[in-house]
Amino acid sequence: MYLTGTYKHNLDAKSRLTLPASFRKQFGDTVCLVPLDDAIYGFTPESHKEWISSFFPEGLNPRNRRDVKLHRALMARTVTVEIDTAGRVALGKVDADKLEKLGIGREVTVVGNDDHFEIWSTGAFDAADEETESLDDLMFDD
């Protein structure tokens, strides 16, 4: 899986997002949505498992309270939804309070980020993008 690009979309009246065609080709019929502090992350079930595992490089230790709490929190925040035949994902399945906190309304920006995509409120994405240093400054040491 290799997701790239930035796409502006409008949610439909039922809070469904039509995934970009290039993304749909790389997903089966299921997506794992994880609302975080800045955006909703979307993974295939396989890439979601890999992402969860990345937090536990030595493996999940069931006797370590931090590991158990983090694992539980990540899994509890994950919502697995079907991608319908039109390539739409029902964001209405995500907790309404989390959507409101993220400012997810009608206008969203979908960003490919390698092994997952991110769904941002367009306003929040534009603001974060403006705050980003120039790409040259990030890529090259002076």
Question: Could you give the percent of the chain with pLDDT greater than 70?
Answer: 99
Around 77, how many Cα atoms within 13 Å sit in the side-chain half-sphere?
19
pLDDT band at 137 (very low <50, low <70, confident <90, very high): confident
Q: Are 106 and 38 in contact (CB under 8 A)?
A: no
Global pTM? 0.91
Mean pLDDT over all residues of the chain? 93
Q: What is the pLDDT of residues 42-98, one digit of tens each?
A: 999 999 999 999 999 999 999 999 999 999 999 999 999 999 999 999 999 999 999
Domains of the chain: 6-139 (3.40.1550.20)
